Amino acid sequence: MMRAINIYNPGKVSVGAGCIEQLANDVLVCGIKKVFLITVSAVLKDIDPVISSIKKNGVEVEMAVDLPGEPTFGDFEGLLKKASGFKTDCVVGIGGGSIMDVAKIVAVLIDSDQKLKDVVGIGLLTGRKTKLFCAPTTSGTGSEMSPNSILLDESDNSKKGIISPFLVPDYVYIDPVLTIGLPSNITAFTGVDALTHCIEAYCNKNAHPVVDAFAMEGITLIAGSLENAVLNGDDVEARTNLAIGSMYGGMCLGPVNTAAVHAMAYPLGSEYHIAHGLSNALLLPYVMEFNLDANYQRYADVAVALGAGEGNDDIETAQNGILILKNLLKRCGVPSSMKELGVEESKITQMAQSALKVTRLMMNNLKEISLDDAITIYKNAY
């Protein structure tokens, strides 16, 4: 029997070029008097008219611009202090996944007795009183649509997930214009992250027909537009397709989530500070190769969505898909081995041990991964 799933989507999702303008009116309609905006300097020029419009309506705006890197527990505490001091009545996150992840946690804990360390895990938040607005400036994490936030815990240098429906924003603006200035490598890495969300949700122990539809559409859109967006960043149509594909990827994260690629990518991020999307890109083809015989049909569907030709059977089609994927990554200038990024081969066992600890994702993987399997996959990706 089909299992029941819950889908928590934002209250309003605006999609399309220029839709960020709607933020000013939505803030007004909500009766908000103080806006705490967490954003990135790269889009300040783009969002200046919206901020001016908000201020014209008599609303105060306090800004935190740019995080030093991937958001840490310490960064979060600093932002929470600043937002509390300002006595904000809403949090707006306009940026990549890191910015939105931290904005989501600030919004949920600002009016709460709960502390960050108490809410790490699944479903531990008790509520959110503060309005939350998010707008992505990359097409990748899908954080604007998801109930997940990932922060780096400095105490053990590992990424911790906070997962709760209360992290889903009230208002979301998916405006491809905000992604136009992204450098080509960031476009490629973040795009592959979104693609990985879709592939890992479709080929997942907990796959679900409702989410399959999001995943398939996401794979088709991203595979069809990634190269154009990377090679010509001003291509609004390609940017729009990527933004929508990323949104679908985000919609896969709540009800199904990712699997071994993400679990194995985490040590590359925390140990070597390799960008999240790039870490996924390094591992995706090799985890797919490992998983293939668990469900050739699913991987054949993915292959067709990636643009591969149909083979004589699902096995051949699925294998074509991995080749198509490797070629796409190459054409987008994505590095193809851990070695070229300075990862030490001697660290592979340690990384495999650390990846196996990410049980919340590993348990979704189509095939069980032993320590030896994880070592082999890392070596193949090396």
**Pick 89 or 193: Cβ nearer Fe ion:** 193
Sorted by sequence, the CB contacts under 8 Å of residue 117 that are 6+ apart come out as: none
Sorted by sequence, the CB contacts under 8 Å of residue 18 that are 6+ apart come out as: 175, 177
In angstroms, what is the minimal distance from the CB of 276 to Fe ion? Answer: 6
In angstroms, what is the minimal distance from the CB of 53 to Fe ion? Answer: 33
Length of the chain: 382
Q: In the window 258-297, what residues touch Fe ion (CB under 5 A)?
A: none
Token pair in block for residue 376: 């082999």
**Pick 26 or 193: Cβ nearer Fe ion:** 193
Closest by alpha carbon to 278, among 203, 363, 343, 370? 343
Neighbours of 316 (CB within 10 A): 16
CA 118 to chain CA centroid, Å, is 23
In angstroms, what is the minimal distance from the CB of 20 to Fe ion? Answer: 23
Part of the chain binding Fe ion (CB under 5 A), chosen from 48-56, 146-154, 187-195, 235-243: 187-195
Q: Name residue 153's beta-bridge partners.
A: 158
Burial environment of residue 113 by CB neighbours within 10 A (0 to 12, 13 to 18, 19 or more)? exposed
Closest residue to Fe ion, Cβ-based?
193
CA 228 to chain CA centroid, Å, is 21
**Pick 300 or 351: Cβ nearer Fe ion:** 351
Part of the chain binding Fe ion (CB under 5 A), chosen from 38-46, 115-123, 168-176, 192-200: 192-200
**Pick 10 or 140: Cβ nearer Fe ion:** 140
Dist. CA 130–CA 356, nearest whole Å: 36
CB–CB of 79/64 below 8 Å? yes
In angstroms, what is the minimal distance from the CB of 219 to Fe ion? Answer: 14
Q: In the window 23-62, what residues touch Fe ion (CB under 5 A)?
A: none
**Pick 23 or 259: Cβ nearer Fe ion:** 259
Q: In the window 66-125, what residues touch Fe ion (CB under 5 A)?
A: none
Part of the chain binding Fe ion (CB under 5 A), chosen from 2-10, 56-64, 143-151, 193-201: 193-201
In angstroms, what is the minimal distance from the CB of 201 to Fe ion? Answer: 11
Dmax over CA atoms of the chain, in Å, equals 66
In angstroms, what is the minimal distance from the CB of 194 to Fe ion? Answer: 8
Residue from 89, 193, 301, 314 in contact with Fe ion (CB under 5 A):
193
# of chain residues touching Fe ion (CB under 5 A): 1
**Pick 193 or 314: Cβ nearer Fe ion:** 193
**Pick 20 or 287: Cβ nearer Fe ion:** 287
In angstroms, what is the minimal distance from the CB of 257 to Fe ion? Answer: 10
Q: What is the CA radius of gyration of the chain?
A: 20
Neighbours of 307 (CB within 10 A): 16
Q: Where does this chain bind Fe ion (CB under 5 A)?
A: 193
